[in-house]
Amino acid sequence: MNPDQAFIDLLNKHQRIIHKVCTLYMDNPADREDLFQEITLQAWKAYGSFRGEAQFSTWLYRVALNTAITFFRKDKRKPRMVYDDTTHERAAEADSHIEEQVIAMYKAIGELSKIDKALVMLYLEDYSYQQIGEMMGITANNVAVKMNRIKTKLKENSKKHYQFN
């Protein structure tokens, strides 16, 4: 496989998207590496279908989320959580009220289903419901309904995690 430079450059520029998806979907560093590699390879395979009609970041999100949702792990180690030791260390260093809230929210997001995680990720990127709907293949109304439910769920669950901390 000899990827062309244009693809490498684009991917380098938008690498944060892949990191984001890996962090959100995999709790274990080894699994993150696997998913990182898988997304990169799948993006390269699908690069021929990128016509430039959409932004590269939107296209990459679609590939990355499709890969993450259908990614098959060799074993089922433990439930996926976006929160890990690294985040914990960061929080300890910062030792702030906000950091603790962020960690609590991380934990709550980690408990969501794969589909809900994808919705949250796109929502955090400030995509409109219409755009999220197009990427996910559902209507904007459906996205709105789901996001309302997710927000309520995250509020409740993050509160629990925050109290526990």
Q: By rule CB under 8 A, what count of residues binds other proteins? A: 78
* Contacts made by residues 12-15, CB under 8 angstroms, sequence distance 24+: 13/56, 14/56, 14/57, 14/60
Q: Looking at beta carbons only, is 30 or 92 nearer to other proteins?
A: 30
Site for other proteins in 64-123 (CB under 8 A): 65-67, 69-72, 82, 84, 86-87, 90, 98-99, 101-102, 104-106, 109, 113-115, 118, 120-121, 123
Q: Give the C-alpha separation, 68 to 33, whole Å.
A: 12
What is the per-residue binding string for other proteins in 25-64, x denoting contact by CB under 8 A? ----xx-xxx-xxx-xxx-xxx-xxx--------x--xx-
Whether the CB-CB separation of 127 and 143 falls below 8 Å is answered with: no
CB of 65 to other proteins, least distance (A): 6
Angstrom distances, CA of residue 74 to CA of 30, 34, 117: 11, 10, 21
Q: Give the C-alpha separation, 26 to 47, whole Å.
A: 24
CB of 143 to other proteins, least distance (A): 10
DSSP code, position 53: S
The phi and psi torsions of 38 (rounded to 5 degrees) equal -65, -45
CB of 92 to other proteins, least distance (A): 14
CB of 149 to other proteins, least distance (A): 5
Q: Looking at 53, 75, 137, 164, which residue binds other proteins (CB under 8 A)?
A: 137
Nearest to 151 by CA among 116, 118, 114: 116
Site for other proteins in 1-20 (CB under 8 A): 1, 3, 8, 11-12, 15-16, 19-20
Q: Looking at beta carbons only, is 23 or 80 nearer to other proteins?
A: 23
First to last CA, the chain: 47
Q: Looking at 77, 92, 130, 149, which residue binds other proteins (CB under 8 A)?
A: 149
